[in-house]
């Protein structure tokens, strides 16, 4: 053993990645736990050192330089029962605890959380990630509860130890915001700061139980994967709805317009006028009224009428007002004989009362209402 042994933090270790490290003598690793009056312990700023023997945490040293002996390690002297000023070496491990603030510890969901969107009623896979900062507050509690048989505690070790807790608490919080507070997944980004503050209150008591003080906790993002089929369908539907709202009509109205266009262009057996009536009625909810009007108009249209294209159009003279009033009065109907009647006479070409041109088969004048004899 050398006359003077220096025990200090390995300068090659990354203080931003290592939270606790057990001293190893690189020249003689097997003698790393052999300490005595010749041992000089150096503890840097933002560090603490603790002696361990047989799994028991002994004295704690803050920043400074110390000569290790049973005189200045009371707990060790009582444990070994050595006489005061004993020269014999003693065996103990030295642990260094890094107490700097580490602010960029990453966290995130390994697999998406399936949640039902409150507005669109679709189950969506939700992901979340962020980062948090921490520092070791109580070194003894941290080593006793978390270190175990490990030679060091890294950032990954710490994250793996608390990943289940973090993801469980954060998953419950996201579900509460979406399901209970009725915040859609596409609007939850506006609440990330509130959720971050609430998350600090959730994880603080658990971290403090292990001697760790959380410095901050942040939600970086809460989102859904773009390659998921349900997400793509929902985004297409949202884009279509936004397009229709921009134009000023709803999905039901657009469907009605489609039906209107199809029906109005369908010239069925009832003629183009009838097709337009049914099409308009279907589109605007007035199919019965418009269809009835078109049917009534069709009563006065006879496609079989004998019209001479070469003959000039004739306009019948208008009867005097008194004659029209008399003709519009209800006319008594003649009694029908029970015996078979001969075939009715051909319909005259013009109304005898008002002079309106008549079509074959008409029983009443469409202008004055007079019965055709």
46-74: pLDDT as tens digits: 999 998 887 788 889 999 998 876 555 65
Does residue 221 register a pLDDT over 90? yes
Task: Give the residue among 359, 354, 372 at the shortest CA–CA distance from 315.
Answer: 354
Could you report the per-residue pLDDT of 269-308, keeping only the tens digit for each?
444 444 444 444 444 444 444 445 445 545 544 444 444 4
pLDDT of residue 166: 92
CA distance 303 to 133: 89
Could you report the per-residue pLDDT of 160-181, keeping only the tens digit for each?
999 999 999 999 999 999 988 9
Is the distance from CB of 115 to CB of 185 less than 8 angstroms? Answer: yes
Alpha-helical (H) ranges within the chain are 74-80, 139-142, 155-175, 192-208, 229-247, 251-264, 271-284, 287-298, 321-328
Does residue 137 register a pLDDT over 60? yes
pTM for the model: 0.59
Could you report the per-residue pLDDT of 140-165, keeping only the tens digit for each?
999 989 887 889 999 999 989 999 99
Could you tell me where the beta strands, DSSP code E, fall in 56-159?
56-61, 64-68, 90-91, 93-98, 102-108, 113-116, 123-136, 152-154
State which of 28-37, 207-216, 240-249, 268-277 shows the largest mean pLDDT. 207-216
Does residue 24 register a pLDDT over 80? yes
Is the distance from CB of 134 to CB of 218 less than 8 angstroms? Answer: no
Domain 102-230 has CATH 3.40.50.300: no
Question: What are the sequence ranges of the domains in the chain?
Answer: 5-98, 102-230, 247-297
Average pLDDT of every residue of the chain: 75
Could you report the per-residue pLDDT of 317-332, keeping only the tens digit for each?
444 444 444 444 455 5
Report how far Cα 289 is from the mean position of its chain's Cα atoms. 46
């Amino acid at each position: 053993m050398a006359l003077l042994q220096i025990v200090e933090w390995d300068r090659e270790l990354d203080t931003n990645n290592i939270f606790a490290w057990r001293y190893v003598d690189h020249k003689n690793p097997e003698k790393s736990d052999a300490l005595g009056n010749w041992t000089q312990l150096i503890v840097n700023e933002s560090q603490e050192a603790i002696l361990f023997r047989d799994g028991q945490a002994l004295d704690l040293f803050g920043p400074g330089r110390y000569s290790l002996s049973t005189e200045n390690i009371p707990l060790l002297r009582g444990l070994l029962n050595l006489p005061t000023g004993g020269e014999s070496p003693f065996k103990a491990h030295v642990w260094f605890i890094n107490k700097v603030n580490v602010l960029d510890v990453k966290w995130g969901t390994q697999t998406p959380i399936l949640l039902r969107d409150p507005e669109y009623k679709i189950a969506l896979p939700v992901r979340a990630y962020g980062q948090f900062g921490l520092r070791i507050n109580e070194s003894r509690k941290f080593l006793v509860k978390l270190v175990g048989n490990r030679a060091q505690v890294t950032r990954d070790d710490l994250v793996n130890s608390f990943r289940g807790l973090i993801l469980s608490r954060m998953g419950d919080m996201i579900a509460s915001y979406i399901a209970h507070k009725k915040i859609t997944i596409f609007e939850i980004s506006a609440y990330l700061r509130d959720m971050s503050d609430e998350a600090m209150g959730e994880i603080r008591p658990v971290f403090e139980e292990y001697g760790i003080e959380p410095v901050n906790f942040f939600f970086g993002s809460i989102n859904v994967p773009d390659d998921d089929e349900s997400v793509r369908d929902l985004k297409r539907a949202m884009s279509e709805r936004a397009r229709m709202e921009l134009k000023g009509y709803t999905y039901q109205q657009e469907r009605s317009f489609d039906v209107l266009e199809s029906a109005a262009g369908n010239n069925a057996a009832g003629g183009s006028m009838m097709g337009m009536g049914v099409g308009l009625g279907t589109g605007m909810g007035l199919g019965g009224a418009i269809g009835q009007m078109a049917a009534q108009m069709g009563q006065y249209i006879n496609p079989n009428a004998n019209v001479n294209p070469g003959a000039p159009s004739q306009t019948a003279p208008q009867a005097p007002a008194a004659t029209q009033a008399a003709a519009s009065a209800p006319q008594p109907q003649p009694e029908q004989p029970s015996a078979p009647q001969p075939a009715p006479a051909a319909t005259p070409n013009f109304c005898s009362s008002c002079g309106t041109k008549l079509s074959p088969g008409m029983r009443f004048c469409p202008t004055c209402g007079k019965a055709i004899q």
